[in-house]
Amino acid sequence: MATPVMIITGTSKGIGKGLAEYFLNKGYRVFGCSRSEATITHAAYHHTALDVSNESAVRLWIRTVKKEGGRIDVLVCNAGLVESALQMTVTPGDVLEAYLKTNVAGTYYVCRETAKTMLLQKQGRIITISSIMTRLHAPGTSVYSATKSAIEQMTKVLAREMAPLGITCNVVAPSMSPTDAAKSFGPEWEKNMLAQQTIQRPITTDEIANVISFYAAPESACITGQVTYMGLVD
């Protein structure tokens, strides 16, 4: 059986790095990217320094992955900004634009270019990463939540478009995880967020990877356009 090929964006730290390490240990060949250089050393890991909001760079990267990997079995669109917890009235326009470029346009470009390859293969799994913030409506998350909601809707539309050729598209929406980005908002913010969750503890990368594994499995071929909210009753 051929080694499965997975793309994961945003692999230099946090959830993305943890996911890459998890799937490398599961026998995947992983192609990762981030704006910074590689922080993972593994024979089956291939890293590209890349800004996902750069359309032409994304197009070239996906073509390179296809050429080097031979195919693309699974895409995990994880790259995203989590840098602001400002209320809307004091959020400057450049913050909004930065989030739209990375979280929305970046996800769009990577999904679009990968989908082109999967259409030719007539097989593949696309998994995007959202957040339970789209359901909590927490103060200070207007920009972040809006971009994650856009990702959910984008994925559902893509699921309908790709279904005739057996390609599934689903969303994983994690709850609070102990990343550097989450910790940067301070312990009080983290405490408030956990209090709004049904399961009031930080989620682990392995738990996120477990849901991704479910969506990526051959047995999940009839599951598409779904959003799994982790740690929350929606």
Residues 3-26 have pLDDT tens digits of 999 999 999 999 999 999 999 999
DSSP type of residue 217: S
Q: Which two structure tokens, joined as six digits, stand for 187?
A: 């312990």
Total Cβ atoms within 10 A of residue 8: 30
Cα angle vertex 94, ends 104, 109, to 5°? 20
CB 45 within 8 A of CB 68: no
Q: Give the other-Cβ count within 10 Å of 147's Cβ.
A: 25
Residue pLDDT, tens place only, 149-182: 999 999 999 999 999 999 999 999 999 887 766 6
pLDDT in tens, 23-56: 999 999 999 999 999 899 999 999 999 999 999 9
CA distances from 207 to 46, 177, 214 (A): 24, 10, 11
Per-residue confidence (pLDDT) for residue 109, from 0 to 100: 99
Cα separation of 13 and 181, whole Å?
A: 10
Q: Which residue, among 48, 66, 67, has the nearest Cα to 57 in the 3D structure?
A: 48
Which has more confidence, 209 or 186?
A: 209
pLDDT, mean over the chain: 94
Determine contact, residues 34/16, Cβ cutoff 8 Å. Answer: yes
Q: Report the C-alpha gap between 81 and 99 in whole angstroms.
A: 6
> What is the dotted CATH code of the domain comprising 5-229?
3.40.50.720
Query: Are residues 61 and 33 in contact, defined by beta-carbon separation less than 8 angstroms?
Result: yes
**Among candidates 40, 51, 41, which has minimal Cα distance to 9?**
51
Percentage of the residues of the chain whose pLDDT score is greater than 90: 82
Q: What is the pLDDT of residue 86?
A: 84
Asked whether the beta carbons of 127 and 225 are under 8 A apart, the reply is: no
Residue 171 has a pLDDT of 99
Q: Which pair of tokens denotes residue 134?
A: 């789209």
Buried b (16+ CB within 10 A) or exposed e, 183-200: eebeeebbeebeebbeee
